[in-house]
Amino acid sequence: MTTAPPAPAAGGGAVLRAVARAVPMPAGAGMARMLVERNARVYRRGWLLLVSGFVEPVFYLFSLGVGLGALVGDVDAGGVLVSYAMFVAPAMLASSAMNGAVYDSTFNVFFKLKYARLYDSVLATPLGPRDVAVGEIAWAQLRGGLYAVMFMVVMAASGLLRSWWALLALPAATLVGLAFAAVGMAATTWMRSWQDFDLLNLVVLPMFLFSATFFPLSTYPEGLQPVVRVLPLYHAVELVRGLCLGLPDVSMLGHVAYLLVLGTGGVVVAARRLDRLLLS
């Protein structure tokens, strides 16, 4: 018997695989790229489902940024008056990167870990727990970055980009994806059942609403401002907003450092937890 060759992947799937091969990986993590390519192949016919997740921030942008913006007027963003839509759009860009990274590194990883038992099969190959952690985080980061690219296209088409500094918002969004993907996967290793994901929503939704996404930090009560400054999404929003508005500042280095530490710590914790769960 002969087996027919697999049908060519749809255009979106081919693009995903090409991007997956180009994903920069840490030194010594070449095996993890195989897991990234595996995930890209899974979505080769369902790529529309993959990219649909960026729609929610677009709804927020046009319903609040444009609709409510007509009532709010201009907003002070770092000493510069900009339209409310232009103020909200970078926050939605950062939120897009967060959404793509978080939901792929939590729900999808939990299903593979607890139900599909995919990683048990993966360990029968040369890949180890560290490769699984790096590969899944890289894939979630890639998904978050893809959402950010698509959202930036929407921003450009809507005339919401006012500086060439905005080009650096895409690498910044990739860093945002890394931070949230790593923390999301690390948290998933402690999840016991689907009910535990209610805690995820309890964290993500308030963080989305109260990270200076829709209003400047100065409008928050003084007692709440230190709490907002600790939130990861606040640092992501401030970094992306400053670049999109063309307002580079030394404080951006602090935001970058925060996200790098968060992402690095998440990778280390996720790798150690997977090593304990899969090899014990």
Instruction: Please say whether the beta carbons of 34 and 127 come within 8 A.
Output: yes
Average pLDDT over residues 57-79: 77
DSSP code for 106: I
CB neighbours of 279 closer than 8 A, spacing ≥ 6? Answer: 123, 129
Residue the block writes with tokens 């007692």: 223
Residue the block writes with tokens 């339209």: 83
Domain range annotation of the chain: 53-279
pLDDT surpassing 60 at residue 11: no
pLDDT at 16: 47
**Would you state the torsion angle of the CA atoms of residues 171, 182, 90, 13, taken in this order, to the nearest 10 degrees?**
70
Residue the block writes with tokens 């090899």: 279
Instruction: Tell me the residue length of the chain.
Output: 280
Start-to-end Cα distance in the chain: 41
Q: What are the DSSP E strand ranges found in the chain?
A: 74-77, 80-83
Q: How confident is the model at residue 234 (pLDDT cuts 50, 70, 90)?
A: very high
pLDDT, tens digit, 9 for 90 and up, residues 163-174:
889 999 999 999
> What tokens does 77 get?
């963003």
pLDDT surpassing 60 at residue 225: yes
Q: Is the dihedral of CA 264, 267, 273, 279 positive or negative?
A: negative
| Dist. CA 174–CA 259, nearest whole Å | 11
**Residue 176 carries which side chain, given as an amino acid letter?**
V
pLDDT surpassing 60 at residue 19: no
| Dist. CA 153–CA 104, nearest whole Å | 22
| Dist. CA 41–CA 4, nearest whole Å | 18
- What is the tally of helices (H) and strands (E) in the chain? 14, 2
Q: How confident is the model at residue 76 (pLDDT cuts 50, 70, 90)?
A: confident
| Dist. CA 45–CA 220, nearest whole Å | 45
pLDDT surpassing 80 at residue 31: no
Average pLDDT over residues 187-198: 92
Instruction: Please say whether the beta carbons of 180 and 254 come within 8 A.
Output: no
| Dist. CA 119–CA 268, nearest whole Å | 18
Q: How confident is the model at residue 7 (pLDDT cuts 50, 70, 90)?
A: very low
Q: How confident is the model at residue 159 (pLDDT cuts 50, 70, 90)?
A: confident
pLDDT, tens digit, 9 for 90 and up, residues 244-256:
998 888 999 999 9
Q: How confident is the model at residue 274 (pLDDT cuts 50, 70, 90)?
A: very high
